[in-house]
Amino acid sequence: MLIDYLLVFLAGGLICGLGQLMLDFTDYSPAHLLVLLVVIGCVLTGLGVYSNLKDVFGAGVTVPVMNFGFILTKGVLMEIEESGFLGLFTGVLERASAGVSAAIIISFLIAVIFKPKE
Amino acid sequence: MITDPRHGQSSWELAQIKMTEDVVNRALEKVNLAKGDIDYLLAGDLLDQLVSSNFAARDFPAAFLGVYGACSTMIEALGLAGVMIDGGAAKKALAFTSSHYQATERQFRTPNEYGDKYPPYKQRTVTAGGAFVLTNQSGGAQLTEATFGKIVDLGITDPKDLGGAMAPAAADTILQHLEDTGRSADYYDLIVTGDLGKVGKELTIDLLAEEGCDIKNNYDDCGVLIYNSNQKVGAGGSGCGCSAVVTASYLLPRLMHNNYNKILVLGTGALLNKTISLQGETIPCIAHAVVIENNGKLSTGIGRENIRNDLATSIEDLSGVED
């Protein structure tokens, strides 16, 4: 039990720590880092590794934005099994719809409520 | 002094326009001139198509010339206005500029809401506007010479490191000016650059030292002067407004009150835009210089009032020379 917490903490910390190092020591912007993490998530899912990582590290790999890559790719792979090539188009937002919709709705609400001052 | 970056307006850009209008009106008010007394307006700023200057000039029945030299705009406008007056094209000209931190960030880099990182060598654009009234009559300070610079591009590509990019242009113009006039650097009581910040200031000193020109003792930078070290602004201030307010509010009254006799003021500009720097291109830079000399008179209106008052009480022998 305790070892699970430790693994989650270490994996999540490692991903975020590496991301912070990239922001601090390179010229890349937060947008570059975001895309890079999502692509890594996609690639790992395509290779079939991501599910295993999830089993071991749990929230450590599902909370960082890498998991968005997993959801996108997983949706595509599942739809391809069911409806073939067309699954590439129908599946990409299938499982990600909750995440995308939540991001849009929450961003909208925040924009309505707050006004930047500085 | 503005404490609200929105200045009571609904956007940063409108705030900058309002601020520019305010500073222009205040400048005219101080010298008791009406808008109709001005022959030419020379102005520019950092927003696309110089909108804040254009909008501020709407109310004037005077010819308007938009000037763009990025952060060197103030000095470029001063130099050009001086040339026009010297050549007889104008009797009274008004040169002004402004810059606004939040509006400039989204114009040149990313909007602040995006939350991009702020490295220690980055400078903070000064939210400020400055205006100079130039006439063919003599007052407390006299614009005697101008040296317009050429573009220098040594290949820096990081739009956050403008001080480092602009320093070679500043050094080039200083050398050109000294060569043209046959003077040495110690002719001036102060040589001041517009907005190089801490990084660019050191670099300029080094670059000039390599050319055998020592300016360590009489050199400073408006970007370094404008903020104190507790204000957490990285390498210092930048923007059109930086050199404008430091020169107009701080240096001119000191000049008039004999703290300095001759100063060389440089405006330093990084001539990039957002699109081209995202495409990885280098940053061409420019520096223009003007010489401002004290001519032994005191004229009302120059500089910020409290700075003038401080100087007036600290220096005794100026009573009776009020112009």
| Chain A residue closest in CA terms to B8 | A117
- 3-state SS, residue A1: coil
- Contact call for B117 and A24, based on CB within 8 A: yes
CB atoms inside a 10 Å sphere around CB A60: 23
Instruction: Report the predicted TM-score, pTM, of the whole model to 2 decimal places.
Output: 0.86
Q: How many CB pairs under 8 A join A and B?
A: 15
Examine the pLDDT at B299 and tell me if it is beyond 50.
yes
Instruction: For residue range B96-105, list pLDDT tens digits in order.
Output: 999 999 999 9
Examine the pLDDT at B223 and tell me if it is beyond 50.
yes
Look at B245 and B159; give whichever has higher pLDDT.
B245
State the average pLDDT over residues B78-101.
Answer: 96
Report the DSSP pairing between strands B262-270 and B285-294: antiparallel
Per-residue model confidence (pLDDT) at position B318: 40
Per-residue model confidence (pLDDT) at position B319: 38
- Contact call for B114 and A30, based on CB within 8 A: yes
Examine the pLDDT at B26 and tell me if it is beyond 90.
yes
| Chain B residue closest in CA terms to A115 | B113
Per-residue model confidence (pLDDT) at position B307: 75
Residue A117 CA, chain-centre distance (Å), reads 30
Question: Exposure string (b/e) for B41-64, b if CB count within 10 Å is 16 or more?
Answer: bbbbbbbeebbbbbbbbeebebeb
Instruction: For residue range A2-24, list pLDDT tens digits in order.
Output: 999 999 999 999 999 999 999 88
- Contact call for B116 and A117, based on CB within 8 A: no
Examine the pLDDT at B174 and tell me if it is beyond 90.
yes
CA angle (B142, B59, B42) in 5-degree steps: 35
| Chain A residue closest in CA terms to B114 | A30
Band of residue B321 on the pLDDT scale cut at 50, 70, 90: very low
- Contact call for A27 and B158, based on CB within 8 A: yes
- 3-state SS, residue B116: coil
Burial class for B9, CB neighbours closer than 10 Å (0-12, 13-18, 19+): middle
Under 8 Å between Cβ of B129 and B23: yes
Examine the pLDDT at B311 and tell me if it is beyond 80.
no
Least confident of A53-62, B111-120, B169-178, B186-195: B111-120
Share of chain A above pLDDT 70, in %: 98
d(CA A114, nearest CA chain B) in Å: 11
Per-residue model confidence (pLDDT) at position B202: 94
Contacts of B158 (CB under 8 A, 6+ apart): A27, B165
Examine the pLDDT at B314 and tell me if it is beyond 80.
no
Under 8 Å between Cβ of A96 and A68: yes
Give CA–CA dist B184/B270, Å, rounded: 27
Residue A14's identity, in one-letter code, is L
CB atoms inside a 10 Å sphere around CB B321: 10
Per-residue model confidence (pLDDT) at position B312: 62
The H or E element containing residue B145 is: strand B141-147
Give CA–CA dist B291/B191, Å, rounded: 9
Examine the pLDDT at A51 and tell me if it is beyond 70.
yes
Per-residue model confidence (pLDDT) at position B313: 59
Under 8 Å between Cβ of B192 and B220: yes
State the average pLDDT over residues B189-195.
Answer: 95
Look up residue B132 and give its two tokens.
């100079």
Residue B192 CA, chain-centre distance (Å), reads 10
State the average pLDDT over residues B172-177.
Answer: 96
Give CA–CA dist B323/B241, Å, rounded: 28
Share of chain B above pLDDT 90, in %: 69
Most A CBs within 10 Å, among B4, B113, B161, B278, to test the A interface? B113
Look up residue B56 and give its two tokens.
């501020």
Q: Which of B87, B207, B197, B63 is nearest to B136 (CA)?
A: B87
Strand order in the sheet with B63-66: B63-66, B40-45, B92-99, B128-135
